[in-house]
Structure 1
Amino acid sequence: MKKMKFFKGYVLIVALVLVLAGCNKEASSDGNVSAATDKVTLDISLSLAEGSFADVGVQKFKEELEKLSDGEIELKVYYNNTFGGEREVIEMMGINSLAMATSSSGALGTWTQEFNMFDLPYLFRDHEHAYKVFDSEIGEELAAKFEESANVKILSYWTAGYRYLSNSIKPVKHVSDVAGMKQRVQENQVQIDTWKAYGANPTPMAWTEVFTGLQQGVIDSQSNPLDSINTMKFYEVQKYVSKLPELYQPYLLMISKPKFDSLSKEHQEIVLQAAANSVDHARKGFEKLDEEATEILKEKGMEILETDEIDVDSFKERAESVYEKWAPEFGVEFIEKVRNF
C-alpha cells in the first residue's frame, strides 16, 4: 500500500513537471515572449543610419517604452534597411513577419492613395503648418485608412521635413537649371509628374540604391533632408545643395497590426503612450540635426544655396500642372483645407 501511494505521488509530480514544461515551451515558441518574465521584444527597422533624425525619434520611443513597461517591453533597433526598403518592411508588417518600422510617407501611397497628397509640391508653409495637419483629424483619418488597407498601425507622425535638392552638376537657382537632370524620385507618380513638369528626367529608385546610383552617374540628383544627405555621405558624390522648399513629408512610426493586437491590453496602452511621448522629441531633434547638417555639409565641401537665393516661383509656376492633375484625385476642397489649415 505504501509503495502504491509512493508511486501515485511520483506520477503526479512527473505529470506536473511535464505540464509546466509544456506551458513554458508554448509561451516562448514565437521568440518574442519569455514565459518567466512575460518580456516582449519588438524589432524595429530603420532605413537610415544610427544617429540619424529617425534614430533620434526611435531612441526616445525605446526609452519611453522600456520605462513605462518597467523593462517588460524591449525594442531592438536595426539600421540601414536590414530587413529591406520602406515598401518591403510595410509588407512584412502587414503579414506579421516584422513588428515595427519607420518610413517616409512616400512609401504609403501604394496602400492608401491619399498619402500621396504629401508629395504635392509646396503643400506646407513651414514646420508648424505641417504639424497642425499631422495632429488634426486629417492625420487620424489617413492613419485609419492605411491601417485598414495595409494591416499596419501608424503610432506617430514625426517629420522628415523638407527634402532639399542635391546634385553633382551645378548650382540650381532656377527651374531651367534642372532641365534634363536625372533626378531620383521614390516610386510615386506625384513625384514623377512634378519633376517632369520641371523639365527633369525623374528616375524611380529604391533608397538602398541611391548612393551607388549617384556614384555611377545613373542619377545626377536626389532630394532628401540635409541630415540624410550628411549621414548617407552623399557629399562624397554630390557637390551642390539647393534649399528648395518643394516637398515636405511626415515620417511615420508604425507597428504591425497583428503584432499590436497580440499584445496585452496593458502593453498596447504602453506602446501608444510611448509613441505619443516621442513626438515632440523626434520633431525637435529633426529640426536641430537639419540645422547642424548645413554647417557640416559646408565643411565637407558642398556648396549650399539658401532658399532666398533660389527663384522658387519659377518652380511653383511649373508645379501648377501637377495640382491640375492630382487635386481632383485627392479632392480639391480637401487639398485647399490642408493648404489653408
Structure 2
Amino acid sequence: MRYTRLRLAISLAAILSSLSALPAHAQKIIKYAHFHPARMDQSMHASAVTFKEHVEKATSGSIKVEIYPAGQLGSAQQIMEGLRLGTVELGVVHEGGVSGVYRPFNIFGMPYMFQSHAHAYAVLDGPFGKELGEDLKKKTGIRLMAYADNGVRHFTNSKRVIRTPDDMKGLKIRVQPSPVFIELVKALGASPTAIDWGETPAALAQGTADGQENSVTTIMSASLYQHQKYATLDGHIYGFFGYLINDRFYKSLTNEERLAVDAGVEKAKVVHRDMTRSLDLSAKKVLSEKGMQVTELTPAEVDQFRNATQPPVRKYLETSVSKEWTDKILSAIEAAKK
C-alpha cells in the first residue's frame, strides 16, 4: 500500500512538473528587418528600438521583437518576398523595393510632386495613401501600417556644380534599377547607370558613375560624400519607407496585441519622420561640413527641372505602370495644396 502511494506521489509530481514547464501562452516573435546600421543616430534603427520597447512592454512579453538591421535578412526584394510568405513578420522597405512586388508604387517616382514634408504627409496619411495600402494588401497579403520618410532626394556628382538641366548633360548618374529613375535622368540629358545599392560606393570611388541621387540620410549613412564633391539640393523625389507587416500574422494577434503593434508603429513613424526631416531641413549645413560644395536652387530653377522631367516620366507611368494610380496621386497632390 505504502509502495502504491509512493508511486502515485512520484507520478503526480512528474505531471505537475511537466505542466509548470509549459508556457501559459506561446510567445509570438516579430522579426523586424531594416537596412540602416544598428546605431541610434540612424532613423530606421532608432525607430525600430522604439517599436520594440513599446510592443514588448505593452504586451507584457507575449510578443518578442527581434531587430535585424543593416540588411541582415537580405535585400529589399528578399524582405518583400519574406513578408509575402510570412518568414519575415515586419519590414521597413523603401518605395522602390515595394514596387518590385506591387507595381503601382512606381508612381512615387514622379519627380517634383511635393512642395514640402507637410504636403507629402497630407497625401500619404490621407485617403489616397490608405486606398493604395488597401490595394497592396489585397494584391500581396502585405499590410501597409505607415509611411515614414526616406528623405528628399538630391543629385550629387564629382565633376561640377549643377544648377540647370543643361549642367547634367554628359554625366553618368547612378540610379536604382528602376525604369522610372532611368527615365528621369535621361530627361535631363545625363546617362543613367543602373547599379545595385551595395555596389554604389565602389562605383562612385572608381568613377564607374560620376554621380548619384539620394537623400541626405543615405548620403551620410553610406559616407557617399567621400567620393562626391558637389551636391545640388533640387529635391526631385520625396522618398519614403513603408512599414509593412504580413497580414496573416497581424490577424493572428489578439486585439490587445494588435493595438500594441499599431501604437508601436505610430511611435516608430514619428521618430523616423522627425529624425529624417531634421536632416533634410539642415541638408546644406550637414553636407557642407563634410566638405561638399552645396548648391541650393531657386523655385524658378526647380521649375526648369520639373518641366524637363515630369512629362516623360508621367507618360511612362501612365503607359507602363498605371494610368489610374498616376491620375489618383496627381489629384491627391492638387487637393492637398488647398
Tell me the TM-score range normalised by the shorter chain.
Answer: 0.7 to 0.9
In structure 2, the residue matched to 1:338 is: 332
Helix, strand or coil: the match of 2:44? helix
1:198 equivalenced with 2:188 (yes/no): yes
Q: How far 1:203 moved relative to its partner? A: 2.3
| Alignment deviations for residues 155-193 of structure 1 (CA, whole Å, 9 cap, x no partner) | 111112311111112111111222232222223221122
Paired residue type of 1:290: D
- Whether the 8 Å CA contact 1:183–1:221 is kept in 2: the answer is yes
Q: How far 1:224 moved relative to its partner? A: 1.3
In structure 1, the residue matched to 2:34 is: 46
- Whether the 8 Å CA contact 2:128–2:329 is kept in 1: the answer is no
Quick one: distance in 2 between partners of 1:167 and 1:212? 14
- Whether the 8 Å CA contact 1:94–1:151 is kept in 2: the answer is yes
Unaligned stretches of 5+ in structure 2? none
Give the CA RMSD over aligned residues: 2.5
1:94 equivalenced with 2:84 (yes/no): yes
Among 130, 141, 157, the alignment partner of 1:151 is 141
Paired residue type of 1:198: L
In structure 2, the residue matched to 1:280 is: 270
Q: How far 1:306 moved relative to its partner? A: 0.8
Q: How many residue pairs align between the two structures?
A: 329
Paired residue type of 2:323: F
In structure 2, the residue matched to 1:117 is: 107
Quick one: distance in 2 between partners of 1:46 and 1:307? 32
- Whether the 8 Å CA contact 1:42–1:99 is kept in 2: the answer is yes
Moved more, 213-222 or 325-334: 325-334
Among 52, 71, 74, the alignment partner of 1:81 is 71
Helix, strand or coil: the match of 2:10? helix
| Alignment deviations for residues 49-107 of structure 1 (CA, whole Å, 9 cap, x no partner) | 22223234333333432343345444333332122221221112222222222121121
In structure 1, the residue matched to 2:318 is: 327
Paired residue type of 2:103: Q
Quick one: distance in 2 between partners of 1:128 and 1:231? 24
- Identical aligned residues as a percent: 26
Unaligned stretches of 5+ in structure 1? 25-34
Quick one: distance in 1 between partners of 2:293 and 2:136? 39
Moved more, 234-243 or 102-111: 102-111
- Whether the 8 Å CA contact 1:172–1:310 is kept in 2: the answer is no
Q: How far 1:38 moved relative to its partner? A: 5.2
TM-score where L is the length of structure 1: 0.87
Quick one: distance in 1 between partners of 2:46 and 2:11? 56
Cα distance change of structure 1 residues 20 and 280 upon mapping to structure 2, 3 Å threshold: closer
Cα distance change of structure 1 residues 260 and 8 upon mapping to structure 2, 3 Å threshold: same
1:229 equivalenced with 2:212 (yes/no): no
Quick one: distance in 1 between partners of 2:143 and 2:63? 18
1:270 equivalenced with 2:264 (yes/no): no
Matches within 5 A, 1:99-178: 99-178=89-168
In structure 1, the residue matched to 2:4 is: 4
